[in-house]
Structure 1
Amino acid sequence: MTQIICSIVNTQEQLARCFPLMHQLRLHLTLEAFLQQTRQQQANGYQLLQAVYGQNICGLAGFSLGQKLAWGKHLYVDDLITNENQRSMGVGGAMLKWLEQYALQHDCDQLHLDSGVQRFSAHKFYLREGFVISSHHFAKSLALAE
């Protein structure tokens, strides 16, 4: 039986192959914007984890290491997506297990992520995986109204 293999995306070619799946989560991005934004974030420590099943990329997790007064050293997951046709097959769990191990190897105290309030099935998944709802995240757009 084929297993889920998780690895860091290292090349621009690999990154471009990740776009169709990331677009399921980040609908506003074009391929060009995705590549440019990812390169900019990588300069600040962002990494992209891919989960591959057979020959297909079935999951992605963008993350970075950080330190905050509130959390200490932590791993923060910016983006987490499993292909909509491959959910409930262990992909998300495999990625979270990989991320937890990576965080522990880098002496992190915690793993954090935010999830849109409308993503109810994702919330159920995170709670099953041992996450707790620890805060509300507030955002305010600073773009000028036209």
Structure 2
Amino acid sequence: MKPAFNKILKKEIPQILPLVQRHMENQFSDEVLIERFNEMFDQNYECFGIYSEEKLIGVFGLWFMTRHYAGRSCEPDHIFIEEAYRNKGIGKKLFDFIYNYALEKGCETSELNSYVSNYRSHKFYLNEGYVIKGYHFIKNL
């Protein structure tokens, strides 16, 4: 299977909401997510759909920033692939795309966060050469 990774435009946010909602287990309303995505699109963020023969089967975002400890970096975010399309090599192709895209944009590193309970992703990321450097903390204000 040869997936396509196509950029999602700000006006296309509603197309990705069902996938993001499933990924996040419907923690927030569509209205809250639309508001947040609109703001994200105005920052150093890009969104992509994962397609199989024109069908949207996944979504992911990329953040671009410069960090004192990592240089120019690309951070993959909210990666979701429909269950029926998992374990078919799409993740490997996706990350090859991300690395090449990040290099084209001048990135030196890639870093990401993964939910503590998402053990399958941990194995995948470790196999991709990521190393665990720390913990990600969050506090509601």
TM-score normalised by the chain length of structure 2:
0.90
Match of 1:94 in 2: 93
- Kept in 2, the 8 Å contact 1:4–1:51? The answer is yes
Match of 1:24 in 2: 22
- Kept in 1, the 8 Å contact 2:3–2:51? The answer is yes
Query: How many angstroms apart in 2 are the aligned matches of 1:18 and 1:112?
Result: 23
Query: How many angstroms apart in 1 are the aligned matches of 2:46 and 2:15?
Result: 15
Report whether the alignment pairs 1:39 with 2:38.
Answer: yes
Query: How many angstroms apart in 2 are the aligned matches of 1:22 and 1:92?
Result: 17
The alpha-carbon deviation at position 11 of structure 1 amounts to 4.8
Extract unaligned runs of 5+ from structure 1: none
The alpha-carbon deviation at position 29 of structure 1 amounts to 2.6
- Kept in 2, the 8 Å contact 1:74–1:110? The answer is yes
- Kept in 2, the 8 Å contact 1:59–1:91? The answer is no
The alpha-carbon deviation at position 139 of structure 1 amounts to 2.1
Query: How many angstroms apart in 1 are the aligned matches of 2:29 and 2:53?
Result: 26
The alpha-carbon deviation at position 91 of structure 1 amounts to 2.1
Helix, strand or coil at the partner of 1:117: coil
* 113-122 or 126-135, which deviates more: 126-135
The alpha-carbon deviation at position 69 of structure 1 amounts to 0.7
The runs of 4+ residues in structure 1 deviating greater than 6 Å are: none
The alpha-carbon deviation at position 87 of structure 1 amounts to 1.0
Amino acid at match of 2:28: L
Amino acid at match of 2:40: Q
- Kept in 2, the 8 Å contact 1:67–1:74? The answer is yes
Query: How many angstroms apart in 2 are the aligned matches of 1:39 and 1:52?
Result: 22
Tell me the number of residue pairs that the alignment of Structure 1 and Structure 2 aligns.
140
Query: How many angstroms apart in 2 are the aligned matches of 1:68 and 1:25?
Result: 27
The alpha-carbon deviation at position 33 of structure 1 amounts to 2.0
Match of 1:124 in 2: 123
Match of 2:52 in 1: 53
TM-score normalised by the chain length of structure 1:
0.87
Helix, strand or coil at the partner of 2:110: strand
- Kept in 2, the 8 Å contact 1:59–1:92? The answer is no
